[in-house]
Amino acid sequence: MGKTYLIGVDLGTAGTKAAIFDSEGNLIADAYEESRLVYPKPGWVEQDPEDIYGSAVRTIRECLERSHIDPGAVAALAFDGQMAGIGAVDENWGAPIHYDSWLDTRCRAYIEQMQEEADRIITLTGGPPSISHGAKILWWMHEHPDAFRRIAKFVVPGGYVAGRMAGLRGDEAFMDRTYLHFTCFSDTAASQWSEELLERFDVSKEKLPRIVDPWEVIGCVTKEAAQETGLRQGTPIAAGCGDQAAGMLGAAMVRPGMVFDVAGTASVFAVCLDRFVPDRRHRTLFVAHLAVPGLYYALAYINGGGMNLRWFRDELAPHEKVETAERPGGFYAWFDQKAEAIPPGSDHLLFLPHLGGRVCPSEPNLRGVFFGLNWSHTKAHLYRAILESVAYEYAYYQRIVQSLLPDLQFTETRVIGGGARSRVWNQIKADVLNTPYVTLNRQEFPVLGSAILAGYAVGVFKDMAAIAESLVSPTSRIEPRAEVHQAYQPLIEQYIRLLEQTKPLFEAL
């Protein structure tokens, strides 16, 4: 009997990655294609759905060509994707609007409108009004009614690509339950749409897709998609899930108290939970379904947190960018070394990392700040302050989780993404959070999580949590330093006060 293979595809913000795994979890081949983001106006960020679909087709085909496997041996595939942005399909699965990215802040007026019902939205959906589906749907409904009328269903990128590859009609559109906390219109614990919230904002349920489990087979690869990708016609397609849920599954984040840090384009802080506990008091955390039955996670993130380092490189240190191009590790490894020599607190320098507005809690007018600059500060100080700002924001999130679940024990933080390679950043976060930081033996977590889902959907795997734990193991562990943790406590307080005190200034600006 021949080998069985599974495909996971991650439709990320920076790019699309596809990967083929065998049923033992071995990576057989992968491929990556950078995304094309469009910025038509300040605060607007869009993607062409055709680009997103094309990237999936091309990366799958490249994987198959590199692997030399029989396409008929692929048992199933699944897609994960960006979570807080929204796109749409018409009756024939055409795209009547562009993909409205989670980085796009044009909907902020409708976030403010939804704040009147924030407590009820949080109670039912698990997440506060934010730069996410609800406010974006209201923006399209009120600002572009002609386009809104052409929309059969709103969909997320993973659902759009999977549905198109399966040849679905508009009325067959779906969204899996791992996205519901971003909708503002769901009863997340019950995995259904909330008639109460839809009625409150006058949104027709007919515009929303059906809600499915991540492992539901939503269709099979069509003849056309088979020709485009090289897959066999009839290959099952699982619904898949959000990229954060896929990454958590791929990293074996399947035990309550485990912390998940995605050091990528967004800086994501998440904690695995065994219960649904909405954050009504602080209105900051999103509480969501994990892909594994019976588990949830509390999620918060910095909108473009990882992009701040790229901004620093390109705008504040272009000379060093050129100088370090040929060095081992490049620009970031070089600046990591310099930042390591700067004392904790960056010699009394604070940075606010919210250059694109703050998401958790929703403060879309907030922007970035270097606070406390003096003539002794160097670029290395600025760089370390950027690293520390993410840790301070995480500490704010951690305190809220502790207030919601006082008995929860934080066991370890598993870090993934490009920033996971930074030893100094991992040490900073371990010290600030007083939690060990662990790196893992893999890098392809979202695509692995999607492949595990695909395997579970067709019976290749019987227990997703168990298979994930069998495939992932720690490679390094950084312990927090008690004395440094104590030194960071007043800086965390100063950071939180700076956020509070600058908020009215930014709103006025």
* H or E segment to which residue 55 belongs: helix 49-67
Residue type, 435: T
Render pLDDT for 279-304 as a digit per residue (tens, 0 to 9).
Answer: 999 999 999 999 999 999 999 989 88
172 Cβ partners below 8 Å, 6+ apart? 163, 210, 218, 219
- Name the nearest CA neighbour of 125 among 178, 66, 61, 200: 178
The Cα–Cα gap between 20 and 240 comes to 15
Percent of the chain topping pLDDT 70: 100
Render pLDDT for 410-456 as a digit per residue (tens, 0 to 9).
Answer: 999 999 888 999 999 999 999 999 999 999 998 889 999 999 999 99
- Please calculate the CA angle 91-103-238 and round it to the nearest 5 degrees: 45
DSSP, collapsed to helix, strand or coil, labels residue 187 as strand
DSSP, collapsed to helix, strand or coil, labels residue 409 as coil
Render pLDDT for 91-123 as a digit per residue (tens, 0 to 9).
Answer: 999 999 999 999 898 999 999 999 999 999 999
Query: Are the CB atoms for 139 and 97 separated by under 8 Å?
Result: no
pLDDT at 193: 98
pLDDT at 318: 95
The Cα–Cα gap between 388 and 424 comes to 10
Q: What tokens were used for 187?
A: 């009863």
Calculate mean pLDDT across residues 317-321.
Answer: 95
Residue for token digits 């060990």?
Answer: 436
Render pLDDT for 466-498 as a digit per residue (tens, 0 to 9).
Answer: 999 999 999 999 999 999 999 999 999 999 999
Tell me if the domain spanning 302-440+479-508 has CATH number 1.10.10.60. Answer: no
Whether the pTM exceeds 0.85: the reply is: yes
Region of 372 (left: φ > 0; alpha: ψ -120 to 50; beta: rest) is left
The Cα–Cα gap between 3 and 75 comes to 10
The Cα–Cα gap between 484 and 433 comes to 11
The Cα–Cα gap between 189 and 488 comes to 37
Q: What are phi and psi of 237, to 5 degrees?
A: -120, 120
Residue 1, pLDDT above cutoff 80? no
Query: Are the CB atoms for 198 and 205 separated by under 8 Å?
Result: yes
Please spell the DSSP secondary structure of 453-505, one letter per residue: HHHHHTTS-S-HHHHHHHH--EEEEEPPPHHHHHHHHHHHHHHHHHHHHHHHH
pLDDT at 2: 75
Residue type, 479: E
Percent of the chain topping pLDDT 90: 92
Residue for token digits 């390094």?
Answer: 476
- Name the nearest CA neighbour of 288 among 304, 300, 305, 303: 300
Render pLDDT for 322-369 as a digit per residue (tens, 0 to 9).
Answer: 999 889 889 999 999 999 999 999 999 999 999 988 988 888 889 999
Every domain of the chain and the residues it spans: 5-251+442-474, 302-440+479-508
Residue 48, pLDDT above cutoff 60? yes
DSSP, collapsed to helix, strand or coil, labels residue 59 as helix
Tell me if the domain spanning 5-251+442-474 has CATH number 3.30.420.40. Answer: yes
Whether 302-440+479-508 and 5-251+442-474 are alike in CATH topology: the answer is yes
Confidence of residue 230 (pLDDT cuts 50, 70, 90): very high
Lowest mean pLDDT among 119-123, 304-308, 456-460: 304-308
Q: What tokens were used for 167?
A: 């040849």
Q: Which residues pair with 271 in a beta bridge?
A: 259, 298
- Name the nearest CA neighbour of 229 among 92, 77, 23, 90: 77
Q: What are phi and psi of 480, to 5 degrees?
A: -70, 150
